[in-house]
Homo-oligomer: A and B are copies of this chain.
Amino acid sequence: MKSHQEPRSGSSCAACKLLKRRCTPSCQFAPYFRSDEPNKFAKVHKVFGASNVSKILNEVPEEQREDAVNSLVYEADVRLKDPVYGCIGAIASLQKKMIELQDDLILARARLAYYVDHTVSFSDDGGVNMCPMVEAFNVQDCFSFDQFSQFPFP
């Protein structure tokens, strides 16, 4: 019986090329893995496997599939570069830097609060102002960083 799915008029998509199969008009991968970007599919195939990528794409609405593919390619790329930690290495490093930034901000605001409490400021025209920027600073008003649990590195 002849299939209703005819081969695409152009070349196969990068996924069908790698998987050595015929690329049909209903190919799930073709919209996201163009034949001139073979590495994109090769990466996700190596890390997630074609069938898992297919399952993930089936799980998400069509309008979000391009984002899903881009995030899978990015994640696979990072895992291939860092097989031990992958994206988790980047997350842990960002979390560490966030904490450093938070500490720096708390320190800067605490010093600012000290200044506000202990100084008389001069305006540019030579006048004297008491605490002109006091409303702008609050040591307690620091960034709350609790959305992501820390990755439990040893």
Contacts and interface: CB of A to CB of B under 8 A. Distances in A.
Interface in A50-83: 51-52, 56, 59-60, 64, 67-68, 70-72, 74-75, 79, 83
A137 B107 CA distance: 11
27 contacts: A46-B52, A48-B52, A49-B49, A67-B84, A71-B85, A71-B151, A72-B86, A74-B151, A75-B75, A75-B87, A86-B87, A90-B91, A94-B94, A97-B98, A98-B101, A100-B143, A101-B143, A108-B108, A111-B112, A111-B137, A115-B115, A115-B119, A118-B123, A119-B119, A119-B120, A119-B122, A120-B122
A26 interface: no
Interface residues of A, number: 62
A85 B85 CA distance: 18
Interface string A90-124: 11011101101110110011011011101111111
Contacts of A118: 121-124
A91 to B, nearest CB: 6
Assembly stoichiometry (copies): 2
B86 A71 contact: yes
